[in-house]
């Protein structure tokens, strides 16, 4: 079987399975397995696929047709122009979260040469490690309640050649009495009653990183209550929020912190995606 034939068959099977991006996912799997670029796939589409590579492709296709996210199948996801290892222990980095990183990066540019940063509920480390890569002088700490997630974050830090301190624990308990110039977090925010209705692919992601309690705001309440004890004077906090949650989370931050400035930031789709406060 040649590349063109496999791509056509894979796209057909993925479409039938309900995959939202069958052409893209088929191409990603082929590029990864065959070690080819998109251009090479196009211009060498009549190349025969070796038997071992075909076997791997068929296994990947079967998993994707069953709903497993292509990023878990490939073991990586692109975020902020960087490649991050991902697996079932961590959320898959999404473009929505780049809005948070971009806002935090602008904040850091106005600070000293070595600002301290905490990535709370770090997962793969995509937020904190992106900031460490973009602002090499930043002193970054990654914290998470999942040891499995922290191990993936550790490997990502090594792969990206950036330094980060890893702390295990539930929210701020992981960092004791430490204070930071900037705290960034994408905490669990899906209301519990909605978890069963999530997209098939999202059902493969860790519930620990999705379940935000009865109304989706449990973690924001806890963060807003404890953040004042962990922010340096002049510090900032940036939180990703779900659709329709910005107003409630902003109110929590204003009630919990001595804010000198607070507001929301919209993502590329015009959705209020990030809530921030500065003290």
Residue 51, judged by CB atoms within 10 A of its CB (0-12, 13-18, 19+), counts as exposed
Pick from 143, 99, 137, 98: which is nearest to 116 by CA? 137
Q: Tens of pLDDT along 203-257?
A: 999 999 999 999 999 999 999 999 999 999 999 999 999 999 999 999 999 999 9
Quote the pLDDT of residue 62. Answer: 98
Question: Which are the contacts of 151, defined by CB distance < 8 A and separation ≥ 6?
Answer: 89
Scan for tokens 């659709």, then name that residue: 243
Quote the pLDDT of residue 112. Answer: 80
Given a contact cutoff of 8 angstroms between Cβ atoms, the answer to whether 263 and 272 are in contact is: no
Handedness of CA 178, 184, 218, 167 (dihedral sign): negative
Mean pLDDT over residues 51-68, rounded? 97
Given a contact cutoff of 8 angstroms between Cβ atoms, the answer to whether 144 and 121 are in contact is: yes
Structure tokens at 269: 């789709």
Q: Tens of pLDDT along 157-176?
A: 999 999 999 999 999 999 99
Distance CA 200, CA 205 (A): 10
Where are the extended beta strands (E) located within the chain?
A: 76-79, 82-85, 116-120, 139-144, 165-168, 180-185, 231-240, 261-266, 272-278
Quote the pLDDT of residue 87. Answer: 97
Look up the pTM and report it.
0.94
CATH class of 77-278: alpha beta
Residue 111 has pLDDT above 90, yes or no: no
Quote the pLDDT of residue 110. Answer: 86
Quote the pLDDT of residue 113. Answer: 80
Mean pLDDT over residues 96-106, rounded? 97
16 alpha carbon, distance to own chain's centre: 28
Quote the pLDDT of residue 189. Answer: 98
Given a contact cutoff of 8 angstroms between Cβ atoms, the answer to whether 238 and 212 are in contact is: no
Band the pLDDT of 263: cuts 50, 70, 90: very high
Beta pairing, strands 231-240 & 261-266: unpaired
């Amino acid at each position: 079987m040649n590349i063109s034939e496999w791509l056509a068959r894979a796209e057909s099977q993925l479409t039938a399975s309900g995959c939202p991006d069958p052409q893209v996912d088929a191409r990603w799997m082929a590029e990864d397995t065959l070690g080819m670029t998109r251009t090479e796939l196009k211009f060498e589409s009549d190349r025969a696929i070796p038997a071992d590579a075909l076997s791997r492709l068929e296994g990947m296709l079967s998993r994707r047709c069953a709903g497993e996210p292509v990023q878990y199948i490939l073991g990586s996801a692109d975020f902020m122009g960087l490649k991050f290892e991902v697996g079932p222990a961590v959320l898959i980095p999404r473009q929505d979260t780049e809005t948070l990183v971009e806002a935090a990066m602008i904040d850091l540019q106005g600070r000293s040469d070595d600002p301290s940063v905490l990535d709370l509920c770090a997962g793969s480390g995509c937020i904190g490690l992106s900031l460490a890569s973009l602002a090499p002088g930043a002193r970054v700490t990654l914290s998470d309640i999942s040891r499995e997630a922290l191990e993936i974050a550790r490997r990502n830090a090594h792969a990206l050649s950036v330094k980060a301190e890893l702390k295990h624990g539930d929210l701020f308990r992981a960092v004791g009495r430490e204070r930071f110039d900037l705290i960034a977090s994408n905490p669990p925010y899906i209301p519990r009653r909605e978890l069963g209705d999530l997209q098939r692919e999202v059902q493969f992601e860790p519930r620990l990183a999705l379940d935000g309690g009865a109304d989706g705001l449990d973690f924001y309440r806890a963060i807003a209550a404890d953040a004042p004890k962990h922010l340096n004077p002049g510090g900032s906090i940036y939180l990703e929020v779900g659709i329709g949650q910005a107003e409630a989370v902003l109110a929590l931050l204003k009630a919990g912190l001595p804010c000198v400035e607070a507001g929301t930031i919209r993502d590329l789709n015009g959705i209020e995606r990030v809530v921030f406060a500065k003290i």
